[in-house]
Structure 1
Amino acid sequence: MPTVRQIETKLFEFAPLDLKMDWDNAGLLVGDPDQPVEKVLVALDITREVAREASQTGAQLIVAHHPLINCKWLPVQTVRSDTPQGGLLIALLRGGISAICMHTNLDAAAGGVNDALAAALRVNDPGPLTQKGIGRVGTLSRPVPLEQFVAEVSQSLHCNGLRYADGGRIVHRVAVGGGACGDFVDQAVAAGCDTFVTSDLGYHEFLDARPKGINLIDAGHFPTEHVVCPVIINTLKQAFPELEIALSASHREVIQYYV
């Protein structure tokens, strides 16, 4: 059976570490590199529920997208059982569960988050949106009204709901950015896109959509990135057919909408 280190090496072959942002934390973040692995649990985030699921199902390793320590939004200062992050780390360590996280390197990688998002939305011939390979730009097979495309996005990504702003354009040339890619709206405009699908957009980004001449669709952080989980599973199955690999059943979209 493969070790944690061998699985990490294979994942880095798919999503090389040098593709990650400077501030990011990727790779084996918790656990023993030499631990043999029989079962892997794949999730977008490592939560207490996911850690409990891994323990209950006998998984020795969790492979996730978002890093759980020393990341920009949640730096580790203490490891205490009475804090959410500390309690999670202690639970993993006590359970002998390793954690590998592939983050912005998986965003930029060929076949990674953004290519999976483009495929889910049937965006053809996707190319990079930014110089660092974050986001994708391509075209639909035919132009469609914005309202129709919004409905298709919601259905394809299994959104609980979404937010959008009408930039006054028919949808044909589309940019996608899995997760929080609101900083790249101007790049989407410069690339000649009429529509940008991403998440975590702010009020002013929506307010400026029509003056900039671009439709903005905020389909949610979880839906725009969860599409990569089957890609991770398929990558590991091809490399290690002896592994038992499962998609987390406990981790799902946490944002609800009331309209």
Structure 2
Amino acid sequence: MAEVKEIYRYLDGLAPFSIQMDFDNAGFLVGRGDAPVSRILVALDITEEVAAEAADLGAELIVSHHPVIFFPARSITDGDPTGRKLLALAENHIAAICAHTNLDAVAGGVNDALALRLGLRSVGQLHQDGVDGRGAAYGIGRVGVLEGEKRLTDFAAFVKERLGGGGVRLVDAGRPVHKVAVGGGACANMMGDALALGCDTFVTSDVKYDGFLDALALGLNLIDAGHYPTENVVCPVLADWLKKGFPQVEIHISRRHHEVFSYL
């Protein structure tokens, strides 16, 4: 058994909440700090389905990547999705800790997990955002290399398979794939960083139309592999961290949460 505040402090030691980006709302967002925890559910998002899953499991805490509260709530009622989620958590005595951009940037977090899932070697930072209180550099995105080269279509198919996505969107700039940048979630604004480091290919998500046009004009292969697939890779990482830190607590990864849309 552990307390919510102990788990928060442990996660803060691995992915300091102080390094989250200014727009973010990561942290201990719902619940009582001294509440006991015997089961934790890990999920990319806290949806109504995930809240129900936690209640069915008897979990007292959900640890997620995306914040369950992002914008200030002016009311908490059953009349909107956010209100229903928060009511479900409160009524079932379920706390929520959400590690968002701090987990994107920290060593071993979202982007390292994505780079390793895609088989990249010699992984380094795509962009350094700062240095934390312990003197450790942090930043969004990673860069690594493949063993040998691949055709873009072959690599894109590999990305789709490795991330379990329903499909990918891509721009072929006519270059073989060897040095690859990755940015879990919406990181298309970092194409300049990828080019500056000599990358031929960038894997990210949520790319707008003009982003694809820019990539083609700049000579950068671009793969949009989806927000959920590029970030859900961190859930096993979070689960492993929690198992190591709290071996007496049951850790579960959500089975009900999945990609929100389908491909035809």
Does the TM-score normalized on the shorter chain lie above 0.5? Answer: yes
Question: Aligned partners of 1:185, 1:19: CA distance in 2, in Å?
Answer: 22
Question: Aligned partners of 1:209, 1:227: CA distance in 2, in Å?
Answer: 25
* Structure 1 position 234 matched with structure 2 position 240: yes
Per-residue CA distance 1:70-116 (angstroms, 9 max, x = gap): x2xx4422212111111111111011000000000000110000000
1:163 counterpart residue number? 169
1:188 counterpart residue number? 194
The residue type equivalent to 1:81 in the other structure is: D
Question: Aligned partners of 2:18, 2:125: CA distance in 1, in Å?
Answer: 17
3-state DSSP of counterpart to 1:127:
strand
Question: Aligned partners of 1:182, 1:209: CA distance in 2, in Å?
Answer: 9
Identity fraction in percent? 54
Deviation at 1:28, TM superposition (A): 0.8
3-state DSSP of counterpart to 2:74:
coil
* Structure 1 position 145 matched with structure 2 position 137: no
1:249 counterpart residue number? 255
Q: Which moved more, 1:184-193 or 1:94-103?
A: 184-193
* Structure 1 position 113 matched with structure 2 position 110: yes
1:179 counterpart residue number? 185
The residue type equivalent to 1:10 in the other structure is: Y
* Match among 228, 253, 262 for residue 222 of structure 1: 228
Question: Aligned partners of 1:30, 1:245: CA distance in 2, in Å?
Answer: 19
- How many residue pairs get aligned? The number is 255
* Match among 77, 82, 91 for residue 79 of structure 2: 82
The answer for unaligned runs of 5 or more in structure 2 is 130-138
Deviation at 1:18, TM superposition (A): 2.3
The residue type equivalent to 1:114 in the other structure is: N
- Name the CA shift for 1:79/1:156 in 2 (closer, same or farther; >3 Å): same
Question: Aligned partners of 1:91, 1:169: CA distance in 2, in Å?
Answer: 50
Trace 1:16-35 onto structure 2 (pairs within 5 A).
16-35=16-35
Per-residue CA distance 1:173-232 (angstroms, 9 max, x = gap): 100000011111111111111000000000111112221010000000000000000000
Question: Aligned partners of 2:16, 2:215: CA distance in 1, in Å?
Answer: 34
1:64 counterpart residue number? 64
Per-residue CA distance 1:133-184 (angstroms, 9 max, x = gap): 1000111111111011001101100011111111111100100000011111
State TM-score, norm by structure 1: 0.96
The residue type equivalent to 1:230 in the other structure is: P
State TM-score, norm by structure 2: 0.95
Question: Aligned partners of 1:170, 1:75: CA distance in 2, in Å?
Answer: 46
